[in-house]
């Protein structure tokens, strides 16, 4: 099997074919070309066959690491003239507009952020703190339903987060209190659950004595 064919199956990037693979001391560079002939505006999706020109240098995206090696995707992109946005570099199907990472890499960052803290993600993927935040914003803007976000925003804004001071673990503690009369409702619900648990425990203890 040829190296380009193997890497086409390995990286699994949509809409491209691998032209060349270069091995550097600290990274692997995969040069790709777009399969489509039409140029697509990354802002609005406007599509045309007319090409304004071709960029003189390759665009570079970081893909998922290949073991200990950093994997970079290089592509020589064309430019088009969009009636709404003017001159733009064509979009690619494997990366979000304005991103320096592939969609797969950014989705990995977003998934890790649901499992661990930001500092761990930064060290694990070898990216800086601010880059993690920008990736999360792009993924949320692209993947989340705007109607769902609008529906949740009033509920999130109704929460009041405050710092409560040092804890026994010597880390700053945080608490989330709901504003208004709903905080008393939460306390009542907790008291109700506590009393129910006490009743069940007492009933089980009594059955043990009868046995």
> What pLDDT, in 10s, does the model give residues 41-94?
999 999 999 999 999 999 999 999 999 999 999 999 999 999 999 999 999 999
Q: What is the 3-state secondary structure (H, E, C) of the chain?
A: CCHHHHHHHHHCCCCEEEEEEEECCCEEEEEEEECCCCEECCCCCCEECCCCEECCCCEEEEEEEECCEEEEEEECCEEEEECCCEEEECCCCCCCCCCCECHHHHHHHHHHHCCCCHHHHHHHHCCCHHHHHHHHHHHHHHHCCHHHHHHHHHHHHCEEEEEEEECCCCCEEEEEEECCCHHHHHHHHHHHHHHHHHHHHHHHHHHHHHC
Q: How confident is the model at residue 144 (pLDDT cuts 50, 70, 90)?
A: confident
Which residue carries 């399969």 as its tokens?
Answer: 35
Burial tier of 109 (Cβ tally within 10 Å: 0-12, 13-18, 19+) = buried
* Whole-prediction pTM: 0.70
pLDDT band of residue 143 (cuts 50, 70, 90) is: confident
Phi first, then psi, for residue 135 (nearest 5°) are -65, -45
Domain ranges (residues) in the chain: 1-94, 104-144, 153-200
Are 77 and 90 in contact by the 8 Å Cβ rule? The answer is yes
Q: Predicted confidence band at 28 (pLDDT cuts at 50, 70, 90)?
A: very high
Look up residue 166 and give its two tokens: 């040092």
Mean pLDDT, rounded, of the chain: 80
Confidence band of 197 (pLDDT split at 50, 70, 90): very low
């Amino acid at each position: 099997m040829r190296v380009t064919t193997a890497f086409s199956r390995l990286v699994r990037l949509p809409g491209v074919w691998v032209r060349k693979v270069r091995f550097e001391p600290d990274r692997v560079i995969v040069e790709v070309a777009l399969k489509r002939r039409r140029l697509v505006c990354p802002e609005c999706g406007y599509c045309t066959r007319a090409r304004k020109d071709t960029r003189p240098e390759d665009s570079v995206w970081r893909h998922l690491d290949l073991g200990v090696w950093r994997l970079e995707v290089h592509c020589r992109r064309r430019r088009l003239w969009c009636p709404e946005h003017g001159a733009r570099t064509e979009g690619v199907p494997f990366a979000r507009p304005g991103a320096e990472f592939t969609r797969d890499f950014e989705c990995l960052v977003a998934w890790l952020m649901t499992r661990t803290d930001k500092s761990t993600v930064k060290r694990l993927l070898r990216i800086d703190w601010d880059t993690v935040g920008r990736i999360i914003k792009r993924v949320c803007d692209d993947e989340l339903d705007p109607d769902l976000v609008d529906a949740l925003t009033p509920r999130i804004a109704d929460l009041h987060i405050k710092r409560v001071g040092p804890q026994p673990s010597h880390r700053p503690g945080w608490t989330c209190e709901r504003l208004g009369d709903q905080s008393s409702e939460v306390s009542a619900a907790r008291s109700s659950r506590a009393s129910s648990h006490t009743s069940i425990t007492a009933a089980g203890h009594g059955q043990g004595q009868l046995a």
